A = this chain, B = another copy of it.
């Protein structure tokens, strides 16, 4: 176990059988039920029996599309549901009182959003779609009720919350003790892992977010992000062109994260 990256936002395991590009289209064609959703392994109903799955199906209040740039929820609003991302890509932002905002995380299909709101019954961050997305709305009360009857659902829900905490520890490590190069390398590796876990290529993908959003997430300025990416490219670690990214050497990136002098 190597805490810095391997556990940092690792949400599931890979589906090597999935094709790379047509996935979203396929998913959209499916009917709404969890029981037929290919994200099961990553999402809430992981490891449930067929009967239990049916109950979870009934849990989903509705599916809801979220257009690029739209808010799924806003900070301060009362919590009623958690949201499982069915397709698309989102960010969550914590807000300063002075209006500045910081990206707290990037979320893709199979991820569950809204977990931070359970404690206060109010959302503490904004959720914004970075591309047209679709989410499943899961009323918290119903989820709690059902998980009282289905131990494995309860367990899985706890695991998901716990993994979010673990992910946050990873981010804290990153923000607290890594230099710019290490942070960016860790970020790219994390994206790579998560795409891989969803059946996409681990070495070639689109960055759905701007340099500024990456910077905000990593505690860096956009110029630094851009410069560092250029630097990686010059070293032959990656090939970037605008938002298209190809990782040329996963190993060298990993080395950068772990072996390089961290500044403390």
Contacts and interface: CB of A to CB of B under 8 A. Distances in A.
Given A4-B96, A104-B169, A176 B118 contact: no
A97 interface: yes
A168 B148 CA distance: 27
A122 interface: yes
Interface in A1-49: 1-4, 7
Interface residues of A, number: 59
A252 interface: no
A94 B117 CA distance: 25
B177 A172 contact: no
A164 B79 CA distance: 17
B148 A3 contact: no
Question: Could you say how many copies of this chain the assembly holds?
Answer: 2
Given A116-B162, A164-B165, A169-B168, A98 B144 contact: no
A187 to B, nearest CB: 13
Contacts of A147: 148, 154
A233 interface: no
Q: Which of A102, A176, A221 has the most CB of B within 10 A?
A: A176
A80 to B, nearest CB: 14
A66 interface: no
A85 B215 CA distance: 37
Interface string A94-136: 1111101010100000000001111110101100000000000
Given A98-B258, A98-B259, A168-B169, 20 more contacts: A3-B97, A96-B258, A96-B262, A97-B258, A102-B176, A115-B165, A116-B162, A116-B169, A118-B161, A120-B163, A124-B166, A144-B158, A147-B148, A165-B165, A172-B172, A176-B217, A176-B218, A176-B219, A177-B219, A216-B264
Interface of A: 1-4, 7, 75-76, 94-98, 100, 102, 104, 115-120, 122, 124-125, 144, 147-149, 151, 154-155, 158-166, 168-173, 175-177, 215-219, 221, 258-259, 262, 264
27 contacts: A1-B124, A3-B75, A3-B124, A3-B125, A4-B96, A7-B120, A7-B124, A96-B173, A96-B177, A97-B258, A98-B258, A98-B262, A102-B172, A102-B173, A116-B169, A118-B162, A119-B160, A119-B162, A119-B165, A144-B155, A148-B151, A158-B161, A161-B161, A165-B168, A172-B172, A177-B216, A221-B264
The 9 A-B pairs with the shortest beta carbon distances in the complex, nearest first, are: A168-B168, A118-B162, A176-B219, A175-B175, A119-B163, A119-B162, A161-B161, A116-B165, A116-B166
